[in-house]
A and B are shown apart, each in its own frame.
Chain A
């Protein structure tokens, strides 16, 4: 009885919020795509759009993990380095030591998840003041380990099916993008339908309230960084497949693109706000901008500047949103 009028009213009340917070990224994407379609006929073709899908895949996978960290009002600066360490371990096991590919890949993923777990332990057991610190440390440590075990040189020559993760197509759809869709659907269910998923929002929204509600906040954060590390490993798999190589400088600066994707997609550094759909949109927007600038012949130097401005702009969007949100006023 009571539920009906409540929901009707909700539509009226939340409309503005809905436009600004949920649809803002989608509107942005549509506007950019219309603009690029008008600017160059080469943009809106099936082939190019599939390109964009493939180019967004790695960032989307990394950003999925980053989303969890940001949802808990944290950050994971080590994803790029963990990615590199993970594929270098796989590369050595498969190519140099001749291990079965499946085992090699699983060990690589395990290393990625393990590095994430260490991030979480540094935060929850050593009580380092902020994940910025623990993951900044891990960023350096993991990169250094990747350089040492590879003696700073790339490893190539993977079996065909390993390359499929990054370079394969199902019909005209890149397999890496299918991996993204699977990830997004899984994350959506995880974040909305499991206790751990809901607890992530609680910890980020108000860690003290979560703790007093009987939630084991340390366990939640440990899982968050473990999953973030694991997703960096999955992204690494895609990268390794695409370029058919594992190299220790892989994934440099990936954390910034991932953070930008989460924020553009409606995530808030304050924690507790953000969705996996938004993050996917954010990753696609970044890929579209890069792709469009390439098609328009903008030099890589200028591209760097524009991407920098997009990152600043995306955080400014976060600021504007916070200013408008009632939670900040209360």
Chain B
């Protein structure tokens, strides 16, 4: 038996504040389709980034074809090792044709000196590669005119043109319809029969059962198991994926459920969401769970009018309302605290005072001018109430820590009449202490009669803080659970595609 094609030994990688990979050891055999599964943040993407030279690793060794890898750069991974990643965001130039894309940067030349391109040869070689994939795509078609499935095939053809040894497909089926996915699978089988090794990442466990030879489950940066796909049922895979410890770091305080605050009826968007209906009550935290790309953030943005609806109704306090822009939502007391605070929540190059009072400047108007002392008073109160650690009110928010930035965003909305809060990943990127403070703020909000909707990728956080949980998968609502009946397994099963209505 020869050495494994790819072998990781005790590979670790840390980013500030998170151990992304924790002493992972695994083997990938030549010519197999090896599936990587795990929750959001389990370490799949990090692993791919190490193999493709995007990041270095902290400790451990990676052996590729019997050789230890070191100092790999994306160029070296691609051109010397033949490790080719294909991401969901395709790397193609829409205004160039198929042949030009396949040979981009490695054009076949007719004349070395003047660097004229040998188009004839490029087109002939493109035809060859496409034929090998069983694809009937014209080499001279502009890539932008092809459907997403065909574009993916062009990307794979591009990989074959550099003689890929290891093809990494990161959620390739997410944007595809069933037919396109089936075609992709048949191409994958073809490549496998030619001896190409494939790493396949997908949230859809049915697909893994269909196409995979072996699989590795990652959780919190650790390898949980590597085994034959056939030896596990989908339920067993889910059990390996979740199984995270829920400690009592969630200071959940149960409040009394009040009136209906927000009702969403049959909401659909042009891109992703289909027929979503749910209710959120005062005095209650409604958790929204789902995997990356399930449409949770899109749902939040659609509700507050940041993105257009295809159809659907929104009712606030039982009355139908017209929300065309975030301004309308704010007027109805409905606000979104975005996941990406820096690009969507804060004016970074301005002060704490400015940001904390930004959403409600009208409040300080006396005549046409702002009452600066009243504004400052409020900002001082926000800083004190939320214990925001800042040198002064005039400090730029860019200089604050992530946790304190998050508190400034929360403060901005506490300073308004908002009473329906949508938190999108409220504790992402902030330290443990600040997380607890954010949970306490959420507890206080619901205690005082607000409705809180919390989107989170952290299952323990969803389970720890929510009174009720809804689950999205691929733009659809696939589950709803009361706090008492919800488990990580049930949520993950709904998030990976199965419909689980409990009530």
A residues neighboring B (CB under 8 Å): 2-3, 6-7, 9-10, 13-14, 189, 192-195, 198-199, 201-202, 205-206, 208-216, 270, 272-273, 325-327, 329-330
**Contact A2 B395, beta carbon cutoff 8 Å:** no
Bound: A239/B15 CA distance, A: 60
Bound: A171/B342 CA distance, A: 52
For A327, what are the chain B residues with a Cβ–Cβ distance below 8 Å?
A: 348-349, 396, 398
A195 and B347 in contact, given A10-B392, A10-B394 (Cβ under 8 angstroms): no
Bound: A281/B358 CA distance, A: 29
B153 on the A face (CB < 8 A)? no
**Contact B349 A272, beta carbon cutoff 8 Å:** yes
Binds A, one of B56-64, B209-217, B281-289, B328-336: B328-336
- With beta carbons under 8 angstroms apart, the residue of B338, B350, B399 that contacts A205 is B350
B292 on the A face (CB < 8 A)? no
Additional A-B contact list (15), CB under 8 Å, known A206-B346, A212-B306, A270-B349: A192-B372, A193-B370, A198-B361, A201-B354, A208-B344, A212-B338, A213-B358, A213-B359, A214-B335, A214-B359, A272-B347, A272-B350, A326-B396, A326-B399, A327-B396
**Contact A9 B358, beta carbon cutoff 8 Å:** no
B368 on the A face (CB < 8 A)? yes
**Contact A330 B398, beta carbon cutoff 8 Å:** yes
**Contact B348 A14, beta carbon cutoff 8 Å:** no
- With beta carbons under 8 angstroms apart, the residue of A205, A208, A212 that contacts B349 is A205
**Contact A206 B348, beta carbon cutoff 8 Å:** yes
The A-B contact count (CB < 8 A) is 112
A209 and B344 in contact, given A6-B390, A6-B393, A330-B398 (Cβ under 8 angstroms): yes
For B390, what are the chain A residues with a Cβ–Cβ distance below 8 Å?
A: 6
Closest to B409 in A: A209
Q: How far is the CB of B254 from chain A (nearest CB, A)?
A: 30
**Contact A214 B349, beta carbon cutoff 8 Å:** no
For B330, what are the chain A residues with a Cβ–Cβ distance below 8 Å?
A: 213-214
A209 and B304 in contact, given A189-B369, A326-B396 (Cβ under 8 angstroms): no
Bound: A103/B346 CA distance, A: 45
* Number of chain B residues close to chain A: CB under 8 A: 44
**Contact B395 A213, beta carbon cutoff 8 Å:** no
In the A-B complex, the 3 residue pairs with the smallest Cβ-Cβ separation, listed nearest first, are A214-B330, A205-B347, A10-B392
Bound: A201/B369 CA distance, A: 16
For B392, what are the chain A residues with a Cβ–Cβ distance below 8 Å?
A: 6-7, 9-10, 13
B residues neighboring A (CB under 8 Å): 304, 306, 325-327, 329-331, 335-336, 338, 342-350, 354, 358-359, 361-362, 365, 368-370, 372, 376, 380, 383-384, 390-396, 398-399, 412
For B354, what are the chain A residues with a Cβ–Cβ distance below 8 Å?
A: 198, 201-202
For B361, what are the chain A residues with a Cβ–Cβ distance below 8 Å?
A: 195, 198-199
For A192, what are the chain B residues with a Cβ–Cβ distance below 8 Å?
A: 370, 372
For B304, what are the chain A residues with a Cβ–Cβ distance below 8 Å?
A: 212
For A212, what are the chain B residues with a Cβ–Cβ distance below 8 Å?
A: 304, 306, 326, 336, 338, 344-345
Q: How far is the CB of A16 from chain B (nearest CB, A)?
A: 13
**Contact B384 A194, beta carbon cutoff 8 Å:** no
Closest to B338 in A: A212
**Contact A195 B370, beta carbon cutoff 8 Å:** yes
For A215, what are the chain B residues with a Cβ–Cβ distance below 8 Å?
A: 327, 358
**Contact B395 A330, beta carbon cutoff 8 Å:** no
- The 25 sampled A-B contact pairs (Cβ below 8 Å) are A3-B376, A6-B390, A6-B391, A6-B392, A7-B393, A10-B395, A14-B394, A192-B370, A193-B369, A195-B361, A195-B370, A205-B349, A209-B346, A211-B306, A212-B336, A212-B338, A213-B359, A214-B326, A214-B335, A270-B349, A272-B350, A326-B399, A329-B398, A330-B348, A330-B398
Closest to A205 in B: B347
Bound: A330/B345 CA distance, A: 14
Q: How far is the CB of A259 from chain B (nearest CB, A)?
A: 20
Bound: A209/B369 CA distance, A: 23
Bound: A226/B329 CA distance, A: 28
For A325, what are the chain B residues with a Cβ–Cβ distance below 8 Å?
A: 349, 398
Q: How far is the CB of B322 from chain A (nearest CB, A)?
A: 15
For B336, what are the chain A residues with a Cβ–Cβ distance below 8 Å?
A: 212
For A14, what are the chain B residues with a Cβ–Cβ distance below 8 Å?
A: 394
For A9, what are the chain B residues with a Cβ–Cβ distance below 8 Å?
A: 391-392
Q: How far is the CB of A269 from chain B (nearest CB, A)?
A: 12
**Contact B372 A193, beta carbon cutoff 8 Å:** yes
For A198, what are the chain B residues with a Cβ–Cβ distance below 8 Å?
A: 354, 358, 361, 370
**Contact A213 B306, beta carbon cutoff 8 Å:** no
A194 and B398 in contact, given A211-B326, A327-B348 (Cβ under 8 angstroms): no
Closest to A214 in B: B330
Bound: A211/B347 CA distance, A: 11
Bound: A220/B99 CA distance, A: 47
Task: Output the residue of A7, A216, A272, A327 with the most chain B CB within 10 A.
Answer: A327
Closest to A12 in B: B391
**Contact B391 A3, beta carbon cutoff 8 Å:** no
For B327, what are the chain A residues with a Cβ–Cβ distance below 8 Å?
A: 214-216
Closest to B412 in A: A213
For A208, what are the chain B residues with a Cβ–Cβ distance below 8 Å?
A: 343-344
Task: Output the residue of A3, A208, A213 with the most chain B CB within 10 A.
Answer: A213
**Contact B398 A326, beta carbon cutoff 8 Å:** yes
Closest to B413 in A: A213
Bound: A9/B390 CA distance, A: 10
Closest to B340 in A: A208
Bound: A291/B299 CA distance, A: 60
Bound: A14/B370 CA distance, A: 25
Bound: A214/B369 CA distance, A: 20
Closest to A329 in B: B398
For B372, what are the chain A residues with a Cβ–Cβ distance below 8 Å?
A: 192-193
For B391, what are the chain A residues with a Cβ–Cβ distance below 8 Å?
A: 6, 9-10, 13
For A272, what are the chain B residues with a Cβ–Cβ distance below 8 Å?
A: 347, 349-350
Bound: A10/B327 CA distance, A: 34
Bound: A215/B391 CA distance, A: 28
Closest to B337 in A: A212
A206 and B306 in contact, given A9-B392, A212-B338 (Cβ under 8 angstroms): no
Bound: A211/B306 CA distance, A: 8
A201 and B326 in contact, given A326-B399, A327-B396 (Cβ under 8 angstroms): no
Bound: A48/B384 CA distance, A: 54
Q: How far is the CB of A193 from chain B (nearest CB, A)?
A: 4
Bound: A198/B325 CA distance, A: 20
Bound: A145/B325 CA distance, A: 37
Bound: A215/B361 CA distance, A: 10
Bound: A330/B396 CA distance, A: 11
Bound: A13/B396 CA distance, A: 11
Q: How far is the CB of A21 from chain B (nearest CB, A)?
A: 11
A3 and B348 in contact, given A9-B392, A193-B370, A198-B361 (Cβ under 8 angstroms): no
Q: How far is the CB of A292 from chain B (nearest CB, A)?
A: 34
For A273, what are the chain B residues with a Cβ–Cβ distance below 8 Å?
A: 349
For B396, what are the chain A residues with a Cβ–Cβ distance below 8 Å?
A: 326-327
Closest to A272 in B: B349
A2 and B380 in contact, given A14-B394, A212-B344 (Cβ under 8 angstroms): yes
**Contact A2 B369, beta carbon cutoff 8 Å:** no
Bound: A10/B394 CA distance, A: 7
For A210, what are the chain B residues with a Cβ–Cβ distance below 8 Å?
A: 347, 358
Q: How far is the CB of A5 from chain B (nearest CB, A)?
A: 9
